[in-house]
Amino acid sequence: MSKKLAVNGGDKAVENFKSELCVWPIVTDEDREAIVEVLDNRSMSGTDITKEFEKEYALWIGAEYALGYCNGTSALHAAMWACGVGAGDEIICPSMTYWASCTAALSLGAAVNFADIDPETLCIDPKDIEHRIGPKTKAIMVVHYAGYPADMDAIMEIAGRHNVKVIEDASHSHGSMYKGRHTGTIGDIAGMSMMSGKAFAIGEAGLVTTNNRGLYERCIAFGHYARTGAPSNFNAVDAQVTNPELQKFAGIPLGGYKHRMNQWCAAMGKVQLKYYPERIAGIDKAMTYFCDLLDAIPGLKTHRPPKGSGLTKGGWYHPVCHYIPEEVKNVPVEAFCKAVNAEGVTCSAGINTPLHLHKVFHEADIFNMGQPTMISFGQRDVRQGSGTLPVSEEASARNFSIPKFTTFDKAEIEKVAAAYKKVIDNIGELV
């Protein structure tokens, strides 16, 4: 193999990247049959299968309650409302996440006070939370970014002292463990996506999990009108709202949302869950091997908890590698990734773009009030400009995504890692 980089006309390190080693989710006849059964029974809009799925998922992660949603965005919206987030309130959220972690706060008339992330975990930095808490702060949104569990001990301690709720966005962390507990069971409530790209992937779906009966009932009242116990509902026998304050509104969702999960997704979820622990153990084996190889290369440091820390990455959603330009002649991550791609291997520069700089959180007037919603209801302006959250703002220059091996194939993984090494060994060609 010529040392010359493929991007400069040399031979490719990997001629035929076996993309089948990265296929996800794994779909079998059992998934197909479960979905067709729902179709044949015309029970797409029911709740019987969803309730079974909720129970099974809750049992697996060790939560008291789970509630099915049409997507993760609505699950997080409901979780915020359940925690009492309303007009004039604030939530604290890491800037480095997908918009759905926090944008529903605006629909509730609340503002988002963005916090910076820790450069290693890429999750909210506990040191950047406390000084943001004000009289109207209702909740801290925690995102277990790319499956890496956030520092929950520190976050729960701060939240407890200030009587602020903790909402976990567990969309990236199905199966990720934090010191013996599943992510999604540690805060007051969690919302998560289960859309097709996620580690637990069952279509357009989501879930709320909580150990708090009051929050669970508020979620039902917000978006699950058919489960509130109204006499006019066909399945009133399944009434799950016992709080008289909520019961008096039974039958019509508070706020007008309809959050029910399509039972095709629930049926697939039941099948996927049976195999998920075993499948993510396979991913963990493959990714641990791959990451060990990458970590031996200068300039690269994979995004994963230290071995023996009691923290795991579950289904390894969207695996990321830190890039340290100072160690590799300051070649920008884009040039590095372009050279790796030319070697026949996938990777892509950057991660999410920081939300605190997006115009939605500066200018959007969602309520037609002639002023930005971020300042329409509250007592203070928590908008933040460029330079305020340096780690989030630099994250895309210091991180890139790597392939997620869902099957362990030692020889292929070694070939792929060697392609990364070839680029780093010859980084001088990119200067």
Ligand X SMILES: Cc1ncc(COP(=O)(O)O)c(C=O)c1O
Task: Please name which of 272, 351, 277 lies closest in space to residue 312, comparing C-alpha atoms.
Answer: 277
By CB under 6 A, residue 206 contacts ligand X? yes
Q: Which two tokens stand for residue 363?
A: 């200018």
By CB under 6 A, residue 72 contacts ligand X? yes
CA 245 to mean position of chain CA atoms: 32
Please state, in angstroms and rounded to a whole number, the distance separating the CA atoms of residues 328 and 424.
7
When CB distances to ligand X are compared, the closest residue is: 72
By CB under 6 A, residue 193 contacts ligand X? yes
Q: How far is the CB of 59 from ligand X (least distance, A)?
A: 22
Q: Which two tokens stand for residue 168?
A: 């976990």
Which residues, 287 to 306, sit near ligand X by CB under 6 A? none
Q: Which of 24, 53, 57, 98 binds ligand X (CB under 6 A)?
A: 98
Q: Which two tokens stand for residue 191?
A: 């919302």
Q: How far is the CB of 77 from ligand X (least distance, A)?
A: 9
Please state, in angstroms and rounded to a whole number, the distance separating the CA atoms of residues 38 and 205.
16
By CB under 6 A, residue 399 contacts ligand X? no
Q: Which of 97, 121, 392, 396 binds ligand X (CB under 6 A)?
A: 97
Please report the DSSP string for 202-240 in residue order: -SS-EEEEES-HHHHHHHHHHH-GGGS--TTSTTGGG--
Q: Which of 73, 95, 183, 185 binds ligand X (CB under 6 A)?
A: 73
Please state, in angstroms and rounded to a whole number, the distance separating the CA atoms of residues 110 and 105.
5
- Nearer residue to ligand X within complex by CB, 61 or 141: 141
- Nearer residue to ligand X within complex by CB, 73 or 185: 73
- Nearer residue to ligand X within complex by CB, 122 or 419: 122
Looking up tokens 């919603």 gives 373
Q: Are 191 and 167 in contact (CB under 8 A)?
A: yes
By CB under 6 A, residue 169 contacts ligand X? yes
Helix axes 263-295, 29-40, angle to 10 degrees: 160
Write each residue from 105 to 144 as x if it is in contact with ligand X (CB under 6 A), else as -, in one continuous string: --------------------------------------x-
Q: Which of 113, 137, 171, 183 binds ligand X (CB under 6 A)?
A: 171
Can you give the binding site for ligand X, defined by CB under 6 A?
71-73, 76, 97-98, 100-101, 143, 169, 171-172, 193, 195, 206
